[in-house]
Amino acid sequence: MRGFLASSIGVTCATALAVPLAPPAAAATSAPPAPPPPTRTTAQPGTDVPGSTRSLPLTPLTADRAPGAAAQGLPRRDVRKFSLVGIVWDDASTELHGRVEVRTRASATGTWSDWQQLETHNADHAADPGTAESDSGRVRGATAPLWVGESDGVEVRVRATGTSEASRTAASPLPTGLRLELVDPGEGATPVTVAPSPANGPRATTPAAGGTTGGTTRGAAEATAASRANADQAPLGATEIPALSRSETEAGLTARHRTSPRSPHVGARPKITTRRGWGADEKLREQGFVYTNKVKAAFVHHSATGNNYRCSQAPSVIRSIYRYHVRSTGWRDLGYNFLVDKCGQIYEGRAGGVSKPVLGAHTLGFNSDSMGIAVLGTYSDGEPSAAALKAIARLTAWKLGLYGMNPNGKTYLKSGGGNLYRKGKKVRLNVISGHRDGFATNCPGKKLYGKLGTSRSKAAQYQGR
């Protein structure tokens, strides 16, 4: 068992995979910081793609210019606008034992922030070992992303734990291929016309019809597929799945979800903002959807992106996390199944249908037969809002109720492998668990983790138990 990282930061609850980044030229890791190293953007040409991701190689900050030097970073520089930052590296199995800090300049005022710390982690969020997503060859290590608001300047420093500028261990203390990711969330996906089509959603792992073409055509096809997956909950093209009363929810249950003709024990369906509603650019993710068998448990996370956001900015924060997960850290889609902001609004995460058992990549070893819910923010020290806790209870009362699960009960999940439980071990867990229950991590932060008991009891009440 690896347990907690030796880093002073510890393990956090954000994702740790990445798409392959073009390796920096040799000069980028051996030459002095000036002139600045070349940049790379993952934005596709054309105005139909909102937002962008810019990747900047880090360079040594000391006389030691070798790869893996104990102190690396990026001198203060002007850049195109961005709102979220993160650090990625080549090998997801390599731990980053160190302190990662950034300073940013607000584009509106020109004011530089204080140094802000990014939480490091190592695959505590990831697709389970042996899955197609895990074995895609695109995985990278990554810190948690940090929301900084619209900025146009940045400075970075990464220092290995227990080292000084005058000393360096024989083994490389920092991972190779460290890069700064600057994410601009854009203004949301270009609106597309969602054509009427059959209500049945696409089958697991099969591409959506027409999804093999590029540009706007593919984006329209994927947007249609994502919306069609929710056709049992809302009209095609809907930006919101409306709330229902408990009686309305029970009346609308299909044979698949009805566990008892007299007492289904399902909570009222809450209002959910769809991917279309928060502006997902459906061209970013992989085509098709992947499902697990059922939903027996919910793992609660914090996004570790910081609490310095307004609720009106939540869609932008989610678009940034989505782009970071897919473009920077290599997931097939957003890792979480749902997200909740501090005002209690619920958002659809990974595509495939909010009522369906969509396979996520949120809790290494326990993605099968579960769902992941991320509360936007960092709750190691900050208290989660009452609205967010209520949203967790309402969401779990509904979604777990569809699969006959008692939110205040226990269940067994089979481990897919991780740092707490060996692969194949059946583990008894709370039906509503924190991320740390399945993996040695600080997530979802001690303040949020300490309130999960309240969410469990409230969710059970919402189910009529």
Share of the chain above pLDDT 90, in %: 58
3-state secondary structure of 221: helix
Tell me the angle at which helices 386-402 and 452-462 cross, rounded to the nearest 10 degrees.
50
Torsion of CA 412, 416, 418, 421, to 10 degrees: 40
pLDDT tens for residues 348-383? Answer: 999 999 999 999 988 877 889 999 999 999 999 999
Position with higher pLDDT, 375 vs 42: 375
Model pTM?
A: 0.82
Higher pLDDT, 226 or 210: 226
Residue 24 confidence (pLDDT): 35
Confidence at residue 4, expressed as pLDDT on a 0 to 100 scale: 37
Three-state DSSP at 436 gives helix
338-340 and 370-375 as β-strands: parallel, antiparallel, unpaired?
Answer: parallel
- Identify which of 188, 187, 190, 192 has the alpha carbon closest to the alpha carbon of residue 220: 192
Query: What is the mean pLDDT of the segment spanning 29-43?
Result: 38
- Averaged pLDDT score across all residues of the chain: 80
Q: What is the pLDDT of residue 129?
A: 60
* Model pLDDT for residues 321-332, shown as the tens digit of each residue: 999 999 998 889
pLDDT score recorded for residue 296: 96
Q: Is pLDDT of 231 > 90?
A: yes
pLDDT by residue (tens digit) across 235-279? 999 999 999 999 999 888 875 665 545 557 999 999 999 999 999
- 């509503």: which residue's tokens? 432
What percentage of residues in the chain have a pLDDT greater than 70? 73
Does residue 67 surpass a pLDDT of 70?
no
Quick one: pLDDT band at residue 130, thresholds 50, 70, 90? Answer: low
Q: If pLDDT is split at 50, 70 and 90, which confidence band does 116 have?
A: very high
Least confident span in 138-142, 362-366, 407-411, 438-442? 438-442
What would the mean pLDDT of 157-170 be, rounded to a whole number? Answer: 62
- Side chain identity, residue 299: F
For the ranges 15-19, 167-171, 248-252, 419-423, the one whose mean pLDDT is highest: 248-252
**With the C-alpha atoms ordered 178, 179, 180, 184, is the resulting torsion angle positive or negative?**
negative
Six token digits for residue 241: 């799945």
For the residues 35-42, what does the mean pLDDT come to?
A: 39
Task: Check the CA dihedral 335-390-460-455 and report its sign.
Answer: positive
**Which residue ranges make up each domain of the chain?**
26-184, 215-462
* pLDDT at 61 (0 to 100): 87
- Name the residue type at position 134: S
Predicted local confidence at residue 145, as pLDDT: 94
Q: Which CATH number fits domain 215-462: 2.40.30.110, 3.90.79.10, 3.40.80.10, 3.40.50.2300?
A: 3.40.80.10
**pLDDT at residue 184, as a whole number:** 97
Extract the runs of DSSP E, i.e. beta strands, from 283-400.
Answer: 297-302, 338-340, 346-348, 370-375
183 vs 364, higher pLDDT: 183
Per-residue model confidence (pLDDT) at position 435: 87
What is the per-residue pLDDT for 68? 59
pLDDT at 59 over 50: yes
Return the bridge partners of 308, or none: none
* Strand pairing report for 297-302 and 370-375: parallel
According to the model, what pLDDT value does residue 208 have? 35
Whether pLDDT at 140 is above 50: yes
Give residue 89's pLDDT. Answer: 93
SS3 at position 196? coil
Q: Residues 114-141: what's their mean pLDDT?
A: 72
Confidence of residue 94 (pLDDT cuts 50, 70, 90): confident
